[in-house]
Amino acid sequence: MALQISTRVSHIRAPPRAIGLLARVCADFHQTGVKLKHSFTLGSLQLGNKPATSPVRGHINAALRVDNFSTTATTTAFWRSSQATGSSSPRGRRGWLGKLAVGAVLGLSTAALVQSFHTGPVTAMALKMNLDSEGKWEETKEVLLSLSVKDRRPYYRTSSSVPLDEIPVWTPTAGGPEPSRYQRNEKLDQKISVYSGDITMLEIDAIVNAANKTLLGGGGVDGAIHRAAGPILKQECASLHGCETGEAKITCGYGLPAKYVIHTVGPIAHGGVGEEERRALRSCYKNSLQTAAENAARSVAFPCISTGIYGYPSEQAVHEVLATVREFLDAHPDKLDRVIFCVFLPKDKELYLQNLPLYFPAEATIKSKL
């Protein structure tokens, strides 16, 4: 046991005081370690003559499955973390260093110990996730959805991310070339954004994917979302067995900053826009909003659905989109905090900015009679 620990210590480049403390703790735990080594059987997971309880089994299994991390980086991070959380007293330092020493006896990786002591076995399991390769999507999804935004950030596959508070809110302005088509509803103020940029960068609750019926990836925004999320997204999509036009289905976001991806299939309008195409496009937006609300997603971003290779004219689509979103928010004003129209082409941004006042009017300006 002492040899195992001394080997670990020899590779540590943490602050000298940490090394000294760890050395003392190694000595203090020598006798305890020997006893543990004889009484604890990893193969049978027993403590003495009694089987380990399920929490112990789960905790150890989770730690054992974690890949080994750099001892240098992990120990230094652990030292800094202990200082940040106020564990700078001799008792506090000896406490976590002691856990580290006992873990060495049991053969657990340093990284697993660090994470499990701080946040439990779920986060320790998260350390082993590799979103660049295919794996068991059910387990990966469960872990990712249990993490906070901060804890998910190390797994983003995008070069950067844009948090919600950096996405400007659209503010309605009084006046305009046309009279408003809807009444003023002050509850909807601060709920709309028009964002020019990459939808895969948005760190929000849900982004909508303009998918095809297979849900297995394609071109345009569909391909971009699949590439950014990683190959494991395709595995979950395959389990959904496709999606019909106007429907919406939800998956985890995996390597995306967005927690969820809502997949919807827009209508093909190369032969012109009729009532069927208008109804289908409205269904895409309505069902996506409903799916977001059902999954407690408070912020959702839409690309321009069907206006690319599906041939739906942008000038007509924008009215169906804004009317649908307005009616949903009127009916469910407390379900969503933000609806973001994520545009790529300058003409699409201009269409939204020009037509938003018709559907989300500002307070009417009273003209003086003087």
Q: Which residues pair with 51 in a beta bridge?
A: 46
3-state secondary structure of 211: strand
Q: Find, among 206, 221, 203, the residue nearest to 166 by Cα.
A: 203
Q: In this predicted model, which residue has the larger pLDDT, 67 or 288?
A: 288
151-173 pLDDT, tens per residue?
999 999 999 999 999 999 999 87
Q: Which two tokens stand for residue 200?
A: 């895969």
Euclidean distance between CA atoms 47 and 56, whole angstroms: 10
Give the model's pLDDT for residue 92: 44
Q: Which of 110-114, 201-205, 329-333 has the lowest mean pLDDT?
A: 110-114
Question: Residues in the chain, how many?
Answer: 370
Q: Which of 37-51, 274-288, 299-313, 323-337 has the lowest mean pLDDT?
A: 37-51
Q: Which two tokens stand for residue 72?
A: 């240098």
3-state secondary structure of 252: strand
Phi, psi angles (nearest 5°) of residue 262: -105, 115
Q: Find, among 26, 27, 33, 29, the residue nearest to 12 by Cα.
A: 26
Euclidean distance between CA atoms 314 and 304, whole angstroms: 8
Euclidean distance between CA atoms 349 and 362, whole angstroms: 19
Q: In this predicted model, which residue has the larger pLDDT, 91 or 254?
A: 254
Q: Which two tokens stand for residue 331?
A: 């009916």
Report which residue type is found at 55. Answer: P
Q: Is 230:256 a contact under the CB 8 Å cutoff?
A: no
73-102 pLDDT, tens per residue?
333 343 344 444 444 444 444 444 444 443
Confidence label for 251 from pLDDT (cuts 50, 70 and 90):
very high
Euclidean distance between CA atoms 143 and 123, whole angstroms: 8
Task: Tell me the domain boundaries of the chain.
Answer: 2-126, 164-359
> Mean pLDDT in the chain?
76
Report which residue type is found at 274. Answer: G
Q: Are strands 206-211 and 162-163 parallel, antiparallel or unpaired?
A: unpaired
Report which residue type is found at 127. Answer: L
Phi, psi angles (nearest 5°) of residue 256: -85, 155
Q: Is 276:283 a contact under the CB 8 Å cutoff?
A: no
Quickly tell me which residue has 């959702």 as its tokens.
Answer: 300
Give the CATH number of domain 164-359; options: 3.40.220.10, 3.40.50.80, 3.10.580.10, 3.30.70.270.
Answer: 3.40.220.10
Task: Judge if pTM exceeds 0.85.
Answer: no
Give the model's pLDDT for residue 135: 77
Which whole-number Å values give the CA distances from 215 to 32, 225, 251, 269, in the listed order?
Answer: 55, 11, 11, 20
Q: Find, among 258, 260, 302, 298, the residue nearest to 281 by Cα.
A: 302
Report which residue type is found at 57. Answer: R
pLDDT, mean of residues 237-265: 98
Euclidean distance between CA atoms 45 and 51, whole angstroms: 6
